[in-house]
Structure 1
Amino acid sequence: MEITVTADGRLTWPGGDFRCVLGRGGVKADKREGDGGTPVGAWPLRRALWRADRLERPSTALPASPIAPDDGWCDEPADPAYNRPVRTPYPASHEALWREDGVYDVIVVLGHNDDPVVPGLGSAVFLHVARPDREPTAGCVALPLPDLLRLLEDCGPDTVLRVVEPTP
């Protein structure tokens, strides 16, 4: 299955169509670490993560595992664990996956810059929960929790999320 995300903030797949939130830097064909851009390309959905203290396991055919309080994701290009999960405390720059704001209550890890990892080309690009005010992300794709849970029902190991460039 393919999920399509357009630069104007639409996410569509054979089962539906939702408004989504993108990176503060817009859609980027040349994604770089820290630019706030949502990368153009086709990204496999690797797995789902969720806060088991807040939600039941999402209904999905994706591999899924609960987030632990010490889970993080390295975003330091010079670190050997760049764009990989880490355990906190971690000495290099990283994102905490256990957050109080609910944004990472459900995370879908996208296969962006992971096979192979290239330092500086972007890290921690996820599909995750949108903030209630729909504030732009740091480069991820975000949906309100009910929409994200609905989408996950249709996702499996062969699902790809395609972010397309704006049409001129």
Structure 2
Amino acid sequence: MKVNYNLLGFTFILVRYMKKLTRLLLPFVCFCMAATASAREITARLPKSKQLMVVVTDGWNNLQGKIFVFNRVNHHWVLKFSNAIVVGTAGLAVGDGIIPFNLPGAPVKREGDKRSPAGVFTIGTAFGYGNKKDATWIKDHYVCASDTLICVDDSKSAYYNTLVRKDTAKTAYNSFEEMHLKKDYYKWGLFINHNSGKVVPGDGSCIFMHIWGNAAEGTDGCTAMTEANMLRVLHWINAKNNPLLVQFPIADYKKLRKAYGLPAVKL
């Protein structure tokens, strides 16, 4: 058989070249695969939800902002409505939500700092001054904020960051927040699951979405709006849709938005 030595030599050089190219490209390929896997892991951390509330402010120390309310339709977030809100008097701080965030330079939520928590949060019970029969339209668990209902903010108490009835609580607490006030702040509201599950003493407690005093009055750490807008949120929200609250300064929200599949918003 006649051997084509020119072709054989070319093949040998080509094989050596491909081996070198493979060695050069392998780290890049591995990096790309790791980045893709990392993106999948980030997305997987967000629970499936059909309802989303996005709250944004102009910065960590701003108390005024806006809420955007979305429904998920055919894998896309569709805006339902938006309105003005206020957050804590001192602004926002990184809180304890369903995803841990490490944002260099950002304040971290602490008990009594008058900052609202930034992050991604599930939604707890609805509450209000009316009896349950007055709130049958709410598609969520509902608690009547009677004179005996309190939220414990004593970080040393076993009831820290929970709603309890003063007449049934079995252990001590040294400080708490009344849930039935003379003003209408808690006439209608939602409990936000910040620092919930494995509660960390001192990381902040009793975070709500409720009625504001006015557009220039911040809260002690909650997110607030007009009564009409709070009622609109309560008519919209449905616990079966696993609603989420995402709350950040607008610049940080824009940096995180694509990685988490969140909708674009503008202040």
> Is TM-score (shorter-chain normalized) higher than 0.5?
yes
Farther off after superposition, 16-25 or 80-89? 80-89
Mapped pair 1:75 → 2:153 = yes
Kindly report structure 1 stretches of 4+ aligned residues shifted beyond 2 Å. 86-91
- Residue 127 (structure 1) aligns with: 209
Supply the AA of the counterpart residue of 2:243.
Answer: T
- Residue 159 (structure 1) aligns with: 243
Q: In the aligned structure 1, how far is the partner of 2:155 from the partner of 2:114?
A: 15
Q: In the aligned structure 2, how far is the partner of 1:121 from the partner of 1:62?
A: 26
Supply the AA of the counterpart residue of 1:98.
Answer: H
User: How far has the Cα of 1:87 moved from its partner?
Assistant: 2.4
Mapped pair 1:12 → 2:68 = yes
**TM-score normalised to structure 2 length:** 0.59
Residue 43 of structure 1: SS of its match in structure 2?
strand
Residue 20 of structure 1: SS of its match in structure 2?
strand
Residue 251 of structure 2: SS of its match in structure 1?
coil
- Residue 91 (structure 2) aligns with: 26
Gaps of 5+ in 1: none
Structure with more of its chain in strand, by fraction: 1
Supply the AA of the counterpart residue of 2:130.
Answer: A
Q: In the aligned structure 1, how far is the partner of 2:250 from the partner of 2:155?
A: 28
**In 1, are the aligned partners of 2:152 and 2:173 still within 8 Å (CA)?**
no
Identity across aligned pairs (percent)?
25
**In 2, are the aligned partners of 1:107 and 1:127 still within 8 Å (CA)?**
yes
Structure with more of its chain in helix, by fraction: 2
RMSD: 1.9
Larger Cα Rg: Structure 1 or Structure 2? 2
- Residue 51 (structure 1) aligns with: 129
1:42-121 to 2 correspondence within 5 Å? 42-52=120-130, 56-57=134-135, 59-88=137-166, 91-121=173-203
Cα distance, 1:24–1:132 mapped onto 2, change above 3 Å: closer
Farther off after superposition, 100-109 or 131-140? 131-140
User: How far has the Cα of 1:59 moved from its partner?
Assistant: 3.2
**In 2, are the aligned partners of 1:58 and 1:149 still within 8 Å (CA)?**
no
Cα distance, 1:113–1:91 mapped onto 2, change above 3 Å: closer
Residue 32 of structure 1: SS of its match in structure 2?
coil
**In 2, are the aligned partners of 1:105 and 1:129 still within 8 Å (CA)?**
yes
- Residue 2 (structure 1) aligns with: 52
Cα distance, 1:46–1:134 mapped onto 2, change above 3 Å: same
Work out the number of aligned pairs and report it.
Answer: 167
User: How far has the Cα of 1:88 moved from its partner?
Assistant: 2.9
Greater relative contact order structure (CA < 8 Å, 6+ sep): 1
**In 2, are the aligned partners of 1:6 and 1:165 still within 8 Å (CA)?**
yes
Write the deviation string for residues 6-57 of structure 1: whole angstroms up to 9, x where unpaired: 024110012101000110110112110000111111111111011017x932
Gaps of 5+ in 2: 1-50, 59-64, 71-79, 95-107, 253-267
Q: In the aligned structure 1, how far is the partner of 2:202 from the partner of 2:232?
A: 33
User: How far has the Cα of 1:133 moved from its partner?
Assistant: 5.5
Q: In the aligned structure 2, how far is the partner of 1:137 from the partner of 1:85?
A: 19
Farther off after superposition, 44-53 or 115-124? 44-53
User: How far has the Cα of 1:134 moved from its partner?
Assistant: 4.0
Supply the AA of the counterpart residue of 1:33.
Answer: E
Write the deviation string for residues 111-168 of structure 1: whole angstroms up to 9, x where unpaired: 1101111100000000011113641000100011110101111112211111013417
